[in-house]
Amino acid sequence: MEPGDIVPNELPTENSSLTRLFYVFVLLPTVLGAVHHLDHIVRGNHVGWPLTPEVNAVTYSLAIYPLLAVSLYLTVTERAEAGYWAGFLVFSAGMLAYFHISPWAVEPPQDVIVPYDSAVFGYAAFVVVLALIASTVVGSVYGAVLWYRTERGPDATT
């Protein structure tokens, strides 16, 4: 059995509501999320299992990577489309905003900025958080637009 028998060798381009650009809106938050998770380790706060015995919000947030893998698999096998991704990214944006910039934030801006000796590095780490939130918001809006266009039919461009 060849890998191409299970997963298509090429991304679907016909009968799909997703564009190649949409995959950028999935890749960008994934990379920014990985950078942010590494930032937790570098600054040494809010670090949870598997690096410490404590189970915390960061521990649960690591579930995003297997969820992304399953979601991408479902997408390349044409079982998940723009509506799924719009919802996935809206939920991600909401969780990120809640945990980082809401009045009830578990990891408020000062927890990202202050641990660094250099304010430049602290603010750079916080810019990564803001870029992560923004990329999920933009991705969810783009996914919603693609979903809306797909639901209206192939001639719906406005």
Domain residue spans of the chain = 26-151
Which pLDDT does position 46 carry in this prediction?
A: 87
Band of pLDDT at residue 154, cut at 50, 70 and 90: low
Pick the residue with more confidence: 5 or 145?
145
Residue 8 has pLDDT above 60, yes or no: no
Going by C-alpha positions, the residue among 29, 145, 41 that lies closest to residue 96 is 29
* Mean pLDDT of all residues belonging to the chain: 89
Number of Cβ atoms within 10 Å of the Cβ of 14: 5
The two tokens of residue 84 are 């799924």
CA dist 149 and 122 (Å) reads 41
pTM for this predicted structure: 0.84
Pick the residue with more confidence: 13 or 99?
99
Angle (nearest 5°) at CA 26 between 24 and 28: 65
Which pLDDT does position 14 carry in this prediction?
A: 46
